[in-house]
Amino acid sequence: MTDFTVEAHHNPTSAERIAQILQDPGFGTHFTDHTAVIDWTAEAGWHNHRVEAYGPISMDPAAAVLHYAQEVFEGMKAYRHDDGSIYTFRPHANAARMNRSAQRMALPQLDEQVFIQSLEQLVAADKQWVPDGEGEALYLRPFMFATEAFLGVRPAKEISYRVIASPAGNYFGGELKPVRIWVSREFNRSAPGGTGAAKTGGNYAGSLLPQQQAAEQGCDQVLFLDPLHDNAIEELGGMNVFLVTNDGRLLTPALTGTILEGITRSSVIQLAQDRGLTVEERRITLQEWERGVDEGTITEVFACGTAAVITPIGELVDGEKTIASTGTGEVTQAIRDELLGIQTGTVEDRHGWLHRLA
Ligand code: PLP
Ligand code: COI
């Protein structure tokens, strides 16, 4: 165990204000009173593990992250169970993924136990911020970035790791409803040998312009295609994709190194197999999607991720053409209910995915 020092906020948010925020948390706009922080230098390694008051970061204008985007992040959630205890979901998987992302971005490795401890420490300080409504949770955002003031292009020798937390409802706002997706024909998210499999800010910066184009077409998210095989689907800007067939199969793009290895994706695969569904991880073309919907062999399509949970895809807009799907199908709903049930403690955690935080 590493010791974290805890310096409590001297003027924390009132219980009334927290209650007001938790009534309609939205996504990513309200932040809790504390943050977990660990510093790293090339000489000293990780040190100064602490929980302190949430607030602005003072950083040199030459900090490497501001120029060369040397940073990685994670996304996970803390769920309140009926007895008031608080759990998170598969944190070792997030810790391992952060280290894979860090490796790609030439950032230091953080011990998995210390990563998990940073979540425990933060949630212990801010546990009154964990909502308990349907589909609601405290979103946890661990991130690591280069703080060294140096304009030469090389891995920074000073790094900061932090965790912030934000109460979260539906990522798309309001009640759960099928979303509309825009196929980006002009822009790709990643390419072989690039950074697509790492959870790093630049991938998201690059998705903003196509996302803006999607919004102009009345769409909620962008679907990116394989840059080499133009009609194979990859993933959305912040979610993985599944297609459900009428003969009990679940199709999802294979992990070829250009898409993010979603922890929700891997959990959906397990839960689908538990139900006797066959999961095919392979190349899926837009033509297969379109033809399947036309012929009635593809009956449901959904997106999944920590922020999005499982969200049905209602329409796919490809230029002038719209491929309609069903609304929230039975398989989508059943897997969503089971996943959320495990996360919130109402369905047995038969795979040992939960980790108690507080
Ligand atoms: N793909 C991208 C690009 C993402 O940003 C995310 C979200 O983290 C996912 C997929 C889903 O990953 P996870 O299920 O681990 O949240
Ligand atoms: C998550 O699901 O945790 C993400 O990081 C996706 C992001 C678009 C909010």
Quick one: average pLDDT of 66-72? 98
3-state secondary structure 17-41: HHHHHHHCCCCCCCCCCEEEEEEEE
pLDDT tens digits for 238-281? Answer: 999 999 999 999 999 999 999 999 999 999 999 999 999 999 99
Statement: residue 12 has pLDDT above 90: yes
Containing 103, the helix (H) or strand (E) segment is helix 91-104
Residue 26 maps to a domain: yes
pLDDT tens digits for 26-64? Answer: 999 999 999 999 999 999 999 999 999 999 999 999 999
- Rounded CA separation 155/28 (Å): 30
pLDDT band at 158 (very low <50, low <70, confident <90, very high): very high
- Amino acid 259: pLDDT: 96
75 lines ligand 2 (CB under 6 A): yes
b or e along 246-255 (b: 16 or more beta carbons within 10 Å of the residue's beta carbon)?
Answer: eeeebbbbee
DSSP characters over 33-83: SEEEEEEEETTTEEEEEEEEE--PPP--TTBHHHHH--EEE--EEEEE-TT
Residue 351 maps to a domain: no
Of 72, 163, 55, 75, the closest CA to residue 119 belongs to 163
Of 118, 105, 95, the closest CA to residue 6 belongs to 118
What are the backbone angles phi and psi of residue 70, rounded to the nearest 5°?
Answer: -80, 95
Pocket test for ligand 1, best of 141, 211, 260 (most atoms within 8 A of CB): 260
Closest atom, ligand 2, to C-alpha of 204: 8
pLDDT band at 117 (very low <50, low <70, confident <90, very high): very high
Residue with CA closest to ligand 2 atom 6: 238
**Domain of 163, in residue numbers:** 5-169
Residue after which a domain boundary falls, among 107, 136, 169: 169
Residue 358 maps to a domain: no
- Tell me which residues have their CB closer than 6 angstroms to ligand 1: 75, 235, 238-240, 260, 262-265, 305-306
What is the number of domains present in the chain? 2
Q: How far apart are the first and last CA of the chain?
A: 16
Of 170, 190, 124, 187, the closest CA to residue 307 belongs to 170
Determine the 3-state secondary structure of 316 from DSSP. Answer: strand
Quick one: average pLDDT of 140-150? 98
Are 134 and 240 contained in the same domain? no
Residue with CA closest to ligand 1 atom 2: 238
Residue after which a domain boundary falls, among 169, 193, 219: 169
Please name every residue paired with 303 in a beta bridge, in sequence order, or none if there are none: 241, 311
Quick one: which ligand is closest to 303's CA? 1
Pocket test for ligand 1, best of 94, 223, 264 (most atoms within 8 A of CB): 264
- Amino acid 30: pLDDT: 97
Statement: residue 314 has pLDDT above 90: yes
- Rounded CA separation 71/257 (Å): 19
**Residue 36 is part of a domain; what is its CATH number?**
3.30.470.10
307 lines ligand 2 (CB under 6 A): yes
Please name every residue paired with 34 in a beta bridge, in sequence order, or none if there are none: 53
- Amino acid 173: pLDDT: 80
Across the chain, what does the average pLDDT equal? 95
Containing 97, the helix (H) or strand (E) segment is helix 91-104
What's the 124 CA to ligand 2 centre distance in angstroms? 23
Of 233, 187, 232, the closest CA to residue 212 belongs to 187
Are 202 and 64 contained in the same domain? no
pTM above 0.85, yes or no: yes
C-alpha torsion sign, points 226, 93, 308, 345 = positive
* CA dist 145 → 59, 106, 195 (Å): 11, 11, 16
Are 33 and 149 contained in the same domain? yes
Statement: residue 325 has pLDDT above 80: no
Of 2, 25, 221, 276, the closest CA to residue 114 belongs to 2
- Rounded CA separation 292/167 (Å): 38
Amino acid at 221: Q
Are 87 and 232 contained in the same domain? no
What's the 125 CA to ligand 2 centre distance in angstroms? 23
- Amino acid 47: pLDDT: 98
- Amino acid 228: pLDDT: 87
Residue with CA closest to ligand 1 atom 12: 262
What's the 74 CA to ligand 2 centre distance in angstroms? 8
C-alpha torsion sign, points 321, 307, 234, 191 = positive
Are 99 and 211 contained in the same domain? no
- What is the percentage of the chain residues whose pLDDT exceeds 90? 92
What's the 191 CA to ligand 1 centre distance in angstroms? 17
pLDDT tens digits for 162-171? Answer: 999 999 998 8
Record the tokens describing residue 219, joined without a space. 């769409």
**Residue 319 is part of a domain; what is its CATH number?**
3.20.10.10
How many other β-carbons are positioned within 10 Å of the β-carbon of residue 164?
Answer: 19
- Rounded CA separation 35/121 (Å): 9
Are 116 and 251 contained in the same domain? no
C-alpha torsion sign, points 169, 52, 198, 79 = negative
Please name every residue paired with 324 in a beta bridge, in sequence order, or none if there are none: 315
Are 153 and 195 contained in the same domain? no
Are 265 and 336 contained in the same domain? yes
